[in-house]
Structure 1
Amino acid sequence: MSTRHAFVIHEHPPSVVINEGEQSWEMSPLWLRERTQAPDQLEAMTQQRLFDSHAIDAGLTLESATRCDEHHVALAFSDGHRETYDLRVLANELDDTRRFPDAEPWDASLDQRRVRFDWLRVLEDPTYFQASLDAYLRYGYIVLHGVPTDPERILQVGSHYGYVKETNFGRYFEVYSRPNGNDLAYRSVALGPHTDNPYRSPVPGIQLLHCLVNETSGGLSTLADSLKVLEQLREETPEGYELLKTTSVRFRFVDAGTELVTHRTMIQTDDDGHPTGVHYSPRLDALPLLSDAQTRLFHRARQRLGELLTDPAYEVRFPLDAGELMLFDNSRVLHGRTRYDTNEGHRHLQGCYLDTDGPRERFASLLKHSDSIEEVA
């Protein structure tokens, strides 16, 4: 059972109380009833309910509660349902996200050995693959080396880590200097830190960039963790931080055949309001219509955000050589590159996007497989 949760069973009046550290609260009979473990009400393989939990009487009460042993309690409800619950299953319900590693904000001092992995070993060794997923979930990016440079290899890598997302750029796209490209990425100019496609809904969750050829001394890849940068921004300008977090901004992309427009906040948060990344692209956004004072505050905040993202204390720079591929959270870890000289030689990358949930699904599947092995052993 989770060491974070302790269950206290009261028989008179019947109740199930959960203690978590210094906090405790009584569990609602509705919450308990919905989490039935009875085989006639919960399909074993899919863990999907065989009844409509939304139809449970809102006035449902707990009629009796009796502890059977350390891990089990017998409960009876006012709708006539009786069942012996495994408290360890309830504890896992409360910890359903705890099996994933927490995000660990990083700065330029991050040991790059933590995020570098051998692609062939990832393919051959499930434990090593799980380690690469763990690193991605913690730091928001990994760099794979030893990736063959044949065309479309990026799709194999993408499918191994998740689900490739097709856009107007195709299933994958070519990144090399061409004068008539429909994005500045297809020039040899420097690119500041940015989120790809913030004008799209939803924004691509993960980006892969695979280097096929790099004969230049420039074109260094840059990465910065917005979670670490946002900690500093919030400390320096809490009011500006709140504006970026709550004010919708227009992002727009236009080329000869496409126009995409959406509105979203620059700071991305989860349902609890905690930052998970940013939507940041000075080439594609537009100041919102606010009062003059708020506009200036908003602008100073986004200006400082940009300064922090390029501060050497937060930004890592490295050459992405042929056969190397970086995979990163498109909103959390902002990417860019330094300029390069096409006269030195050719620089050719391929890119593609994945949905956000792919690595988490792969990680959960590997954990489930490991658990099954342990149970058999």
Structure 2
Amino acid sequence: MQQIDYIINEANASVSATVNGQHYPLPALWLRERCQDSENLDKTTKQRFFDPHQLDENVSLIKVEKKHNTLANLTFSDGYSGEYDLNEFAADFDVWDGAPNDIPWKSDVDKSLFHIDLATLKSEAGLMKGIEIFLTYGALIVDNVPTESDAVLEVANLFGHVRETNFGKHFEVFTRPNSNDLAYRSVPLGPHTDNPYRNPMPGIQLLHCLENQTTEGLSTLVDSLSVLEQLKKEDPEGFALLCKVPVRYRYYDNDVDLIERRTMIESDPSGRITGIAYSPRLDYLPLLQDEEMVIFHRARKRLGQLLCSPEYEWRFRLEPGQLQMFHNTRVLHGRTGFDPSEGRRHLQGAYIDIDAPKGRYNALKRRQGSMHTNDAVETTSTHGEFEIANTKATAETAKMRG
């Protein structure tokens, strides 16, 4: 657990924090912006009634009065004085923003960790458990979902709001000739990210099995975080290029022509790797100098090999009444080929935005009153450390999440 202790120094008129043994002075301007009184902060929405951008950049602390281990009255040079509960700063030091840390996995992972029953998700505690599984592993298998049309939307709405695309609120996945996507054929589909040609990409995909009468057509999932750790070890130069060189992705249909450029390896604003935009059916090799192009392609080629490796790829039969939900850029999905003459293989899919489950998780956790302890604050982060913001962070220096 991430341990946070606060030091209130009346003699020096200063406040600081120790996070996992690392000391951080809390500047006066930083504290002034975070005033907590009801005249400046709405208690319900946590939104400010004032514009902090207009504060004096040279504001200073002139008096600090300790009221409790984590409670102090602070007086500033601009005339403001107010009471501060330092426990309210816990979120500032939580690199996971209240969510559980992610755990990269390979194909030998205990598969029972991913399963939850739909009935369990109907309670707040059960939903919180399901979201925690999803945030940790990037995937969730929901059992005992009714094999009825639109049931995928019912499950999706438990976690967030359905994102409608040109495919509709939900889409049907079954074999049909001359379809506008190879997903609607019986051909094999290697591990891929859905819709890398959109901005933003769908964050989460759900696929619900209504019928599966085929012996093949196995579902596949692979955690790109594990794969990327290996790729970075093997080819740091190629890895860096995949982090920084934009790739063009395109989806072409009679009614829409979608084009987007993005790097294959995705990172968050702090530089931590979050997943990949990977779809060999839809991407185009960027125009680079000869040497860089060879390095880029070599890394892209090796990435594809690792994604398909039995060491990383989990293959399973998605049974009728089961629904798989996965982080679209972290956990890539695919399908083995099948013979449509054996019978129907019918899935329904839907998308929701990536921030929705995390937002619901934090709200549920807050309602249960487990956001803070009294004196020493422990966050849910067990993987990764808080760092002062690095304004020079780039894709080239991106570090693996955690």
- Considering Cα pairs closer than 8 Å and 6+ residues apart, tell me whether 1 or 2 has the greater RCO: 2
SS at match of 2:365: helix
**1:223-372 matches, cutoff 5 A:** 223-371=221-369
SS at match of 1:5: strand
SS at match of 1:80: coil
SS at match of 1:178: coil
Please, which runs of 5 or more residues in structure 2 have no aligned partner?
A: 374-402
CA distance in 2, matches of 1:19, 1:140: 31
CA distance in 2, matches of 1:75, 1:349: 59
Native 8 Å contact 2:2 2:20 kept in 1: no
Shift of 1:96: 7.5
CA distance in 2, matches of 1:135, 1:74: 40
Cα deviation digits, residues 113-143 of structure 1 (max 9, x gap): 11111112222x3222211111000000001
Cα deviation digits, residues 228-254 of structure 1 (max 9, x gap): 000000000000000000100000110
Q: Match of 2:384?
A: none
TM-score, normalised to structure 1's length?
0.95
TM-score, normalised to structure 2's length?
0.90
Q: Match of 2:42?
A: 43
Cα deviation digits, residues 24-66 of structure 1 (max 9, x gap): 2321111101111111111111111111111111121111112
Q: Percent identity?
A: 46
Q: Match of 1:129?
A: 127
SS at match of 1:136: helix
CA distance in 1, matches of 2:218, 2:342: 14
Shift of 1:11: 3.3
Between 1:232-241 and 1:89-98, the stretch displaced more is: 89-98
**In structure 1, what residue type is equivalent to 2:65?**
T
Shift of 1:90: 2.5
SS at match of 1:349: strand
Q: Match of 2:169?
A: 171
Please, which runs of 5 or more residues in structure 1 have no aligned partner?
A: none
Q: Match of 1:69?
A: 68
Cα deviation digits, residues 50-98 of structure 1 (max 9, x gap): 1111111112111111222222122110111111211222334433745
Q: Match of 2:17?
A: 18
Native 8 Å contact 2:219 2:334 kept in 1: yes
Residues 1:58 and 1:360: Cα distance change in structure 2 (over 3 Å): same
CA distance in 1, matches of 2:99, 2:371: 19
CA distance in 2, matches of 1:49, 1:227: 37
Q: Match of 2:108?
A: 109
Q: In angstroms, what is the RMSD of aligned CA positions?
A: 1.8
Alignment partner of 1:202 is 2:200: yes
Between the two proteins, the alignment pairs up a number of residues equal to 373
CA distance in 2, matches of 1:69, 1:178: 68
Shift of 1:22: 4.0
**In structure 2, what residue type is equivalent to 1:328?**
F
CA distance in 1, matches of 2:372, 2:49: 29
Q: Match of 2:185?
A: 187
